């Protein structure tokens, strides 16, 4: 089993670049897509407004948890990958877990209560399951002191957290090429987490294959 000390520290600049891009994209989409809901003004509820207004308090709980996970995630990955400030890493890990737990609880409720059709609802429900499973596995791995598994599941978990950004980018992108809102949102609800997880897996496995050579 790999220990913290036995694993090579990755080069810092590429890692910092990737996490910086994730943080910047998260911040941009948070300001555009999440911030307006905090005003609790029905006029700021956007396209999904009529469906979300009756569930606004559950949505706020979901946004609070999602926001924690979105902004603590990159810091956590940085501290873990560079093996620096491990006491901070431990404390922020708990904050990340609380963020995902609260965000996912809200997400399950919102997915099960959305009036926007079963295809859309099932995609977002699947996303909530992926969020719970990846983060739960990261937690169980670190409890078992399985550092490499913890690292991999945390990366998967944060990629799933970023699905919030991918969802809006895909839905808006498809809208600009003429795809209807309902169709684009249903496609994005599945693609926003399934495709990034599929692309991530060969990257994680490739690293291990190289290490065994």
Angstrom distance (rounded) from CA 187 to CA 2: 39
Using the rule CB under 6 A, which residue among 141, 154, 159, 160 binds ligand HEM?
160
Nearest to 185 by CA among 170, 204, 198: 170
* Piece of 58-66, 84-92, 143-151, 194-202 that binds ligand HEM (CB under 6 A): 58-66
Asked if 76 touches ligand HEM (CB under 6 A), the answer is no
Using the rule CB under 6 A, which residue among 82, 116, 122, 149 binds ligand HEM?
116
Residue closer to ligand HEM, measured from CB, 111 or 184: 111
Angstrom distance (rounded) from CA 198 to CA 79: 25
Tokens of 76: 């956590």
What is residue 10's three-state secondary structure? coil
Using the rule CB under 6 A, which residue among 19, 22, 70, 102 binds ligand HEM?
70
DSSP 50-83: HHHGGGHHHHHHHHHHHHHHHHHHHHHHHHHHTT
Q: Which residues bind ligand HEM (CB under 6 A)?
A: 30, 33-34, 37, 46, 48, 51-52, 59, 62-63, 66-67, 69-70, 103, 107, 110-111, 114, 116, 124, 127-128, 131, 160-161, 163-164
């Amino acid at each position: 089993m790999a220990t913290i000390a036995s694993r090579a520290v990755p080069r810092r600049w590429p890692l910092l670049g990737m996490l910086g891009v994730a943080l910047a994209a998260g911040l941009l989409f948070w300001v555009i897509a999440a911030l307006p809901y905090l005003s609790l003004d029905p006029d700021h509820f956007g396209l999904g407004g009529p469906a979300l207004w009756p569930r606004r308090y559950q949505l706020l709980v979901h946004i609070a948890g999602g926001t924690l996970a979105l902004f603590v995630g990159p810091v956590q990955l940085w501290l873990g990958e560079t093996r620096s400030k491990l006491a901070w890493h431990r404390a922020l890990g708990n904050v990340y877990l609380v963020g995902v737990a609260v965000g996912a609880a809200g997400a399950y409720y919102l997915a099960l209560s959305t009036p926007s059709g079963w295809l859309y609802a099932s995609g977002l429900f699947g996303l909530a399951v992926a969020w719970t499973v990846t983060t739960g596995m990261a937690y169980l791995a670190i409890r078992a002191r399985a550092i490499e598994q913890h690292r991999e599941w945390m990366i998967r978990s944060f990629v799933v957290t970023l699905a919030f950004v991918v969802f809006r980018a895909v839905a808006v992108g498809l809208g600009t090429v003429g795809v209807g809102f309902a169709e684009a949102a249903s496609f994005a609800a599945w693609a926003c987490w399934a495709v990034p997880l599929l692309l991530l897996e060969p990257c994680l496995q490739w690293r291990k294959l190289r290490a065994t050579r």
